[in-house]
Amino acid sequence: MKSILNLIKKYPKSFWLIVAIILVVVVMLFFKNKNTGNRTIKISHSDFVNQVSVSGKVVAAEKVDLGFKNEGIIEKVFFSVGGGAEAGQFVKAGAVIAAIDAGDAEKDVRDAEVALASAKLSLQKIQLKNSNENLNADLTKSYEDGFNAVSSAFLDLSDIIDGLDDVLSDDNVSDNSARISGKTALSYRSEAEKLYYQAQNLFEANRKIFREMNRSSPGAEVETIAKKTYETAKIFADAVKSAKNFVDYMAEDSNDSSSFSDLKTTLSDYTDTVSEHLTELITAETNIKNYKDAFTDTSLDLEDAFLSIKQRENALSDARNKLSDYYIRASFDGVITKIDAKVGEIASANKPLVTLMSAGTFQIESYVPEVNIALIKEGAPAKVTLDAYGENVFFSAKVASIDPAETIRDGVSTYRIKLQFDSEDDRIKSGMTANVSIIIFNKENVIVLPGGVVFQEAGKNFVQVKEEGKISNREILLGEVSSLGQVEVVEGLADGEEVVLNPNALK
């Protein structure tokens, strides 16, 4: 007896009160089971709705705090508000709400616009100047000029080759005169003769090629003969120079310079003539090459011009983005609910001055307990009532989002969800309390039983069926299970059959 009293004293009265309540509940359940052991329910098809009920609050679908990205003096405020969302002003997306001094930024935009226009004009000039039509015309003209240069060169070179023959046949510079003068004179004459014959042979070979050509010859042939003629003219220049050196030596050696003056004049004229043709031929070659390269260069010039335009476009975009930092603009259609900006004040960078809330589009923010969150999917339909209009006024909505991170509320793990109203309704206001029933599934014309009537044996599901006063076990196949513990029976039962409510009481 003492031990019992000591045990009672060991624990507080609140503990024994709880124990007493538990004993009462156990006794009540025992007698309830005794009384319901033979109770049954009659099977009939019905609708099976599973839903999760939560409460929440109406919030704006979008709500942002806006400020200037730059510091500056506030120049203009284009809107004002009274108190609360209903006293605010509606604005369209992109509307300027307030502005600070942006003189320098505006100038940068104007300069960038001018630079872009200039780059586009340069592109047009390149396209006009270097069109395929113009390039082809220039190349054709360069081939014509090359043909004319070759033709002119051959006319004069023909005279020069004959003239050099006459010079070397003159008595004053004849082979005999050179022998009389000595070895140096003979050396000069030998070099002059050698170059003369080289020039003559090359001239004859190339003139033969040129005679088979005309102004309609392919450009590649014109380019080739122009190069060959240029090389021929170089040999002529060397031959004339060598002959001139021989004549000058003989004149000095003879002490009778006047007898050689005509030869010197002739050779000097030949030098000038060959020099002119060399210039004309190299110019023709250069022009042909340049106009051929122009096709490739034009492509590069156009690419460079397009890149220049892209750079100017980027610069303009950057300038406009920087200019936008001097304005507060509405990021969506909505209602301004707060403005702290005043003209003349200095605005700090990134300090919120304006609150904008989306107009007409509202959501419900709610928190679902962890035990139910797995049942809810995005897009699930829901029925909503608002306390402001009572439980008989319904609104429809859908689950718009489910926050993956948990939120602890009153010590319970919950997950924030947002539901979007299916349509706009002027009766819906931000801040209203909402009661939400999220439909998990809705099956029509199925058999539904309380989960407690089902028991398992050997991994299979059974219920106890009462037939003609006798009770037997019946295997069943289950389908959906509701959050309230009801189960769908897919196979094993038919309408009118009786199922025992408390199968454990009869075991």
Choice between 153 and 256, residue whose per-residue pLDDT is larger: 153
At 326, list the tokens: 């001097």
Q: What is the pLDDT of residue 23?
A: 54
> What mean pLDDT do residues 332-342 have?
83
Q: Which helix (H) or strand (E) holds 475?
A: strand 470-481
Q: What is the pLDDT of residue 280?
A: 93
Q: What is the pLDDT of residue 132?
A: 64
- Residue 264 vs residues 181, 194, 297, 386: alpha-carbon distances, Å: 18, 20, 48, 120
Residue 116 has pLDDT above 80, yes or no: yes
Question: Rounded mean pLDDT of the chain?
Answer: 84
Q: What is the pLDDT of residue 360?
A: 64
Percent above pLDDT 70 for the chain: 87
Residue 84 has pLDDT above 50, yes or no: no
Residue 4 has pLDDT above 70, yes or no: no
Q: What is the pLDDT of residue 347?
A: 86
Check: pTM over 0.85? Answer yes or no: no
Q: What is the pLDDT of residue 292?
A: 78
The tens digit of pLDDT for each residue in 248-265 reads 999 998 888 888 999 999
Smallest Cα–Cα separation from 348: which of 103, 70, 76? 70
Smallest Cα–Cα separation from 226: which of 285, 278, 312? 285
> What mean pLDDT do residues 72-89 have?
71
Most confident listed range (53-57, 305-309, 329-333) = 53-57
Q: What is the pLDDT of residue 268?
A: 94
> What mean pLDDT do residues 372-376 have?
87
Angle at which helices 132-169 and 261-324 cross, to 10°: 160
Q: What is the pLDDT of residue 63?
A: 76
> What mean pLDDT do residues 381-387 have?
93
Length of the chain, please?
Answer: 507
Choice between 61 and 39, residue whose per-residue pLDDT is larger: 39
At 360, list the tokens: 């007409």
CA distance linking residue 356 with residue 420, whole number of Å:
19
Please, are residues 43 and 494 in contact by the beta-carbon 8 Å criterion? yes
Q: Per-residue DSSP letters for 253-310?
A: HHT-GGGGHHHHHHHHHHHHHHHHHHHHHHHHHHHHHHHHHHHHHHHHHHHHHHHHHH
Choice between 94 and 360, residue whose per-residue pLDDT is larger: 94
Q: Provide the 10 A C-beta neighbour count for residue 397.
A: 23
Least confident among 2-6, 112-116, 199-203, 394-398: 2-6
Q: What is the pLDDT of residue 405?
A: 86
Domain residue spans in the chain?
61-100+325-355, 130-307
pLDDT tier for residue 139 given thresholds of 50, 70 and 90: confident
> What mean pLDDT do residues 261-274 have?
94
Q: What is the pLDDT of residue 130?
A: 59
Domain 61-100+325-355 listed as CATH 2.40.30.110 = no
Q: What is the pLDDT of residue 442?
A: 82
Q: What is the pLDDT of residue 31?
A: 44
Smallest Cα–Cα separation from 102: which of 341, 350, 324? 324
Residue 436 has pLDDT above 50, yes or no: yes
- Residue 108 vs residues 246, 321, 322: alpha-carbon distances, Å: 74, 11, 9
Q: What is the pLDDT of residue 297?
A: 60
Q: Per-residue DSSP letters for 188-228?
A: HHHHHHHHHHHHHHHHHHHHHHHHT--TTS-HHHHHHHHHH
Residue 2 has pLDDT above 70, yes or no: no
Q: What is the pLDDT of residue 35?
A: 46
Per-residue DSSP letter, 330: -
